[in-house]
Amino acid sequence: MNPEPASGRTPAGGGAALLRQEFRAAWGSGVGAVLAVLISAAAALAGPLLVRHFVDRATAGTTAAVLAGTAVAYLLAALVGTGGRIGSGYLAARTGWQIADRLRERLFQRLVVEEPVLEVERRQTGEVLEQIDGNSDIVGRAVSESVFPMIGNLVVAAGILVVMLVTVPAAGLGLAVLAVGLFAGFSRISRWAVSRWETARLQQARLFGFLGDALAARSDVQPLNGTAWVVQQADHRLNALFAVERRAYLAGRTFWPATQLFFAISFALVLGAGLNRMGSGGLTIGTLAMLYLYVDLLQEPLEQVSSQADELQQMAAVLGLSARTLAESPMGAGARTSARFPEGSPGIAFEHVTFGYGDETVLHDVTFDVPAGTSLGIVGPTGAGKSTVVNLICGLAAPASGLVRIGGVDVTTLTEAELARHLTVLSQGAHLFAASVRENITLFDDSVPAEQVLAVLERLDAAGWVNALPGGLDTRVGAGGRGLSEGEIQVLAGARALLRPCGLLVIDEGTSRLDPQTERVWSRVVEAVMPGRTVVMVAHRTSTLAQVDQILVLENGRVDVSATGNTAEILSSRAGATS
């Protein structure tokens, strides 16, 4: 996905401006839908006029041929109207989902791609998905099912009012005043309803986030007898959401009784004025029939507008929320320039680095140096700041003070794309997708030939078991590596690292609690990927640390030991450093 250009930022004007901006991406089908709606509305308005012509000519004693011609014209108008409705329905659906897909792409770009990784990981997955996909679906459905039909209904209603003003001016003027008052009231109610729908959408996103967390933690929750708490929390959140949605829904539906009252008044005014003028000879039977048909025709648009109000209010709420999301600058935006990553295996230097999350300082004045082409093992107790050091090297965070340099270049000046091309990470917790073995190793890069993938697996002594799989490299594995052992997952993670000729390698061992077989596999993977690179390793086992050139011991966010030499002696001098 290409990053959104600067001109793609949401302009001032909120949801309405965002809808106009997204409509440009579906300009062709959108204009076609509007034209089809207008044709359908024109055909609907033509029907009563043709009936008046037919009745007046019949009462005047015209020929059968004239009447037959009028009847044929009526049928043609009906056919054109039907065709217009079919065409507008198709084009409206196409436009709606083009707009939804475009909005979905932009929200994904903003909330997942542009947002710093640490900030993305802080948020609940279900909440982010609902903000992206749930909100986009609401917009697409509303555009396809309500926006274009609303245009047609308003055109029909306006046309009928114009006919009334011309034919029975007093009644028409009264209806026009009533219509203005009706829609003014509807606008005020809608503003209130939209604010309620915004609250409801935020609550629903948080609900989906909670449910996603509950599902992910089910294997921990059930043995600990926490299911009742999860159900109680879900019930509480659902009740709160229902209360907000009910108020928003009722606000939108208040328009329905008003439209019914408007129709009843319209019927009485128009037919009363029509009969009065007919009695005085100022109106023909055909014109009275036309007025009746127009009043009857007015009922359907009014009822549809009232039923569409709820969907349109939800769309307005979602567009407002999405516009604010897109207008926000990502955390840390503007800090990176177009600096180039150093060639080869660059050195790493921390220069008086201090970093914190919120008010909590995690690293205090940390300084160390990793010469080019050498390796560093980082150890320390839980919470010492080991993962934070890795995050700073990978450009996932920026220091509050001090500098992190790679090959002399400030990491904060390197774009994420530049870092991704020259730095690779090997983790025991590597994620596998629900895809083939080959796709998981190449990360869906079809340009990498199978021979190259197999050569990498040969270096890891893993080509045999991969070829023995039912489909070889094309064998599909489950999400998270279901169907594979821990050791096999780590082999595939190592193959990823070997496949990318990056000069800088970060290894996150994750845990020291490995069974003997998996430990042997992991050690073989680490030994295979380290040569020829600058390596920073967060390690927990002495056997792995024996392969590094120097040791950095962190404690309470400070450098406790930074030394080269015998790993076992260094660690034994710092009891508990690897706990």
pLDDT of residue 565 exceeding 50: yes
Span 208-264, pLDDT tens digits: 888 888 887 777 777 667 788 888 888 888 898 888 888 888 776 777 777 778 778
- CB of 326 within 8 A of CB of 265? no
Average pLDDT value for residue range 114-127: 75
Give the three-class secondary structure for 349: strand
Instruction: Check pLDDT > 90 for residue 39.
Output: yes
Q: Which residues of 396-431 are buried (b: 16+ CB within 10 A; e: fewer)?
A: bbbbeebebbbbebbbbebbbebbbebbbbbbbebe
- Quick one: pLDDT band at residue 66, thresholds 50, 70, 90? confident
Which residue's entry shows tokens 């409801």? 200
**Residue type present at position 6:** A
Partners of residue 476 on adjacent β-strands: 436
Average pLDDT on 467-481 reads 81
Q: What is the mean pLDDT of residues 165-188?
A: 80
Distance CA 311, CA 194 (A): 10
Average pLDDT over residues 93-106: 92
Condensed to tens digits (0 to 9), the pLDDT of residues 483-539 reads: 777 778 878 888 888 887 788 888 887 554 455 666 677 677 777 888 888 989 887
Lowest-confidence region among 215-229, 370-384, 425-439, 542-556? 215-229
- 327, 106 contact by CB (below 8 A): no
User: 363 pairs with which residues across the strands?
Assistant: 355
Mean pLDDT of 463-490: 80
pLDDT value at 567 more than 70 = no
Q: E strands, 449-521, where?
A: 504-508
Q: Work out the average pLDDT over 313-333.
A: 82
Q: Give mean pLDDT, residues 414-434.
A: 80
pLDDT at 9: 47
Residue 465 reports pLDDT greater than 70 = yes
How far apart (Å, rounded) are the C-alpha atoms in residues 134 and 205? 8
Give the pLDDT score at 107. 92
**Average pLDDT, integer, range 79-92:** 93
Q: Which residues pair with 562 in a beta bridge?
A: 552
Whether 578 has a pLDDT exceeding 70, the answer reads no
| 450's tokens | 């199978």
pLDDT-above-90 percentage for the chain: 16
Confidence band, pLDDT 50/70/90 cuts, at residue 423: confident
Look at residue 459 and tell me whether its pLDDT is greater than 70.
Answer: yes
Confidence check: pLDDT of 573 > 80? no
**Mean pLDDT of the 345-371 span:** 89
Q: How sure is the predictor about 12, in pLDDT bands with cuts at 50, 70 and 90?
A: very low
pTM over cut 0.75: no
Give percent above pLDDT 70 in the chain.
86
Higher pLDDT, 37 or 564: 37
Query: What distance in Å separates the CA atoms of residue 24 and residue 30, rounded to the nearest whole number?
Result: 9
pLDDT for the residue 297: 83
Distance CA 275, CA 284 (A): 10
Confidence (pLDDT) at 428: 67
Query: Average of pLDDT values for 289-306?
Result: 80
Task: Convert the pLDDT of each residue in 133-173 to its tens digit.
Answer: 999 999 999 999 888 988 888 888 888 888 888 887 877 78
Taken in order of first residue, the domains within the chain and their CATH numbers are 14-327 (1.20.1560.10), 348-578 (3.40.50.300)
The helix (run of H) or strand (run of E) holding residue 258 is: helix 255-279
Residue 463: name the closest of 450, 474, 454, 451 by CA. 454
> At residue 379, what are phi and psi to the nearest 5 degrees?
-130, 170
Helix (H, G, I), strand (E, B) or coil at 375: strand
Average pLDDT over residues 2-15: 48
pLDDT of residue 577: 41
Kindly report the average pLDDT of the chain as a whole number.
Answer: 81
Check residues 35 and 477 and name the one with the higher pLDDT. 35
User: Does the pLDDT of residue 35 top 90, yes or no?
Assistant: yes
pLDDT at residue 2 is higher than 50: no
Q: What is the pLDDT of residue 173?
A: 84
User: How confident is the model at residue 498, as a pLDDT?
Assistant: 81
Residue 350 has pLDDT above 60, yes or no: yes
If phi > 0 it is left, if psi is from -120 to 50 it is alpha, else beta; for residue 402 that is left
Query: What token pair was written down for 413?
Result: 């000046």
Q: What is the H or E stretch that residue 535 is in? A: strand 534-538
H/E stretch holding 388: helix 386-393
pLDDT of res. 562:
64
Q: Which residue has the higher pLDDT, 171 or 70?
A: 70
Given a cut of 70, is residue 579 above it in pLDDT? no
Residue-level pLDDT at 563: 61
Q: Which residue has the tokens 């400030």?
A: 410
Question: Which residues 6+ apart lie within 8 Å of 531 measured at CB?
Answer: none
